Amino acid sequence: MAFYSRLSRIALFSLTTCTALMVGGQAMAKSHIPAATPHEHGKAANTPATEDQIIIIVNGQILTQRDVEDRARLFVISTGLTPNAEVMERLRGQLIQQLINERLKMQEILRRHINVEPEQIAEAIRTIETRNGMPENALRNRLKADGVSLTTLIDQIRVQIGWMQVLREELGTRSRVTPLQITQREEALQREAGRPQYLISEIFVPVNDPRHDATELAFTQTIINQLRNGAPFAIVAAQFSQDQSALQGGSRGWMQEDNIEPEVLPIVQKMPENAISNPIKVPGGYEIVTVLDRRTIGKQMGTILNMRQAFFPFSTQLDPSNPTDQQKLALQKAIHESQTIKTCEEMEALNTSLGNSRPSNPGLQVEERLAPQMKAVVDKIATGHSSHPLVAPDGIALLMVCSREQRNLAQQTPGQIADQLMNERVEQASQQLQRALRRTAIIKIRPAAKTVLAP
């Protein structure tokens, strides 16, 4: 698989995950950012005038208070949380650092004369909408309704696409994984058979001055509290982690003990699955980790599901106590089709006739990893049979299990090994280049930003 295609999937993950929460089946109440009152922390409340205030200059390029506030709004909407004013002040400091890094990346993109075409950005947005079953322009409308400029999302997409091309140039011939390298990794895994592996996600918060890390430690603890209160790990990682794994929602994939930092390993070995660690001090900063799963190298049996679905969209949101005529007709048709459809090909054809508002093929799924509610539904569906109509606020779904296959999930395919090797190279190249850009940058902090960045 081409380098660009592989890296494109990585970069779009964080944006797709973020948007999935914005447009999920359950309606989300409109979020807002708590504004600091004049007496809180000695800071004045934000006004239109102060939002246009320049707070940072990065190699001559300005960063305004409005840029920070727009990114903060995107965080609040995407996580579904409404942090208090004190928490938001801490988050703003890290958002400023993130925006500085994005400015440096964008400057490097322009220095190399890399042009991100509008069509690439439009295609990325269409991909996000399609993967989340959204009609065209639905994402733009949702952001507008919540007071977030579409430019905020476009800027993130532009930097991520352009940075992918920068890394492609930086890696050069190393962007190709050879058959010999794949074979060597396969042999190494075989020698490790029987030892534990951990499916880990992380958030890395860098520390610029190890002698004065109180600000970063306080921010790390703030993030941990938000995660333990329900903020989605992948979205928080995509927003705040300064590691290349942020592009994958913080996921580092399956890791062997030899590849885990010695400061992190003892905690990973003992912590329960899906728990959130305390801050872990590692070289260069702090890590927050979560263990999603454990397995033994070379052995992990699971059930692979090949499924198809058809979705009957509602023209308006469902009011269960007062369904519309269109919703009643959709239910009648769904009941009829659930009783008559016999093959996955027929399910695909039905979904096409309904407008393909949701993809017919959701991709191969591991039954044991499905969310409990979905697993309870799927477990009752016999292979080759349709589910009963599954009613949601925006429509009705029919599911069909085409096949169930027992498979050793611990056996990585050559393609998966190639992806893992490439991800390791991309992460290393990205970290090295970002450090070099930061080291040579001229960053001027205006007084308005010092109150946010100060310990």
Q: Of 413, 421, 192, 419, give the one whose Cα is nearest residue 296.
A: 192
Domains in the chain: boundaries:
3-175, 195-296, 301-408
Residue 287 — φ and ψ, nearest 5°? Answer: -120, 145
pLDDT reading at 34 higher than 70: no
pLDDT tens-digit profile of 43-95? 444 555 566 788 899 999 999 888 888 888 877 776 666 667 777 776 777 78
Residue 149 — φ and ψ, nearest 5°? Answer: -65, 135
Report the distance separating Cα 200 and Cα 289, nearest Å. 7
262 CB-contact burial (10 Å; exposed 0-12 / middle 13-18 / buried 19+): exposed
Report the distance separating Cα 345 and Cα 355, nearest Å. 16
Residues forming a β-bridge with 197: 256, 295
Name the average pLDDT for the chain: 79
Report the distance separating Cα 88 and Cα 101, nearest Å. 20
pLDDT tens-digit profile of 295-314? 877 666 778 889 999 999 99
Predicted local confidence at residue 213, as pLDDT: 82
Q: How many CB atoms lie within 10 A of CB 364?
A: 12
pLDDT reading at 28 higher than 50: no
Q: What percent of the chain has pLDDT above 70?
A: 80
pLDDT tens-digit profile of 192-246? 777 888 989 999 988 877 787 888 888 899 889 889 988 888 878 877 787 767 7
Q: What is the pTM of this model?
A: 0.59
Sheet containing strand 395-408, strands side by side: 365-366, 301-313, 395-408, 390-392
DSSP 37: P
CB–CB of 442/100 below 8 Å?
A: no
Residues forming a β-bridge with 386: 400
CATH code, 301-408? 3.10.50.40
Report the distance separating Cα 341 and Cα 401, nearest Å. 12
Report the distance separating Cα 303 and Cα 297, nearest Å. 18
Report the distance separating Cα 394 and Cα 388, nearest Å. 17
Report the distance separating Cα 69 and Cα 92, nearest Å. 8
Answer yes or no: same fold for 195-296 and 301-408: yes
Report the distance separating Cα 228 and Cα 224, nearest Å. 6
- Distance (Å) of CA 96 to CA 73, 149, 218: 14, 18, 16
Predicted local confidence at residue 154, as pLDDT: 86
pLDDT reading at 98 higher than 70: yes
The answer regarding whether domain 3-175 maps to CATH 3.40.190.10 reads: no
CATH code, 195-296? 3.10.50.40
Report the distance separating Cα 402 and Cα 362, nearest Å. 12
Predicted local confidence at residue 263, as pLDDT: 94
Which is it for the CA torsion 109, 113, 114, 116, positive or negative? positive
pLDDT tens-digit profile of 243-268? 767 767 788 888 888 888 899 999 99
DSSP 441: -
Instruction: Report the pLDDT averaged over residues 147-172.
Output: 85
Residue 363 — φ and ψ, nearest 5°? Answer: 90, 160
How is residue 359 written in tokens?
Answer: 């993809």
Residues forming a β-bridge with 289: 202
Residues forming a β-bridge with 132: none
- Distance (Å) of CA 59 to CA 364, 376, 443: 47, 55, 6
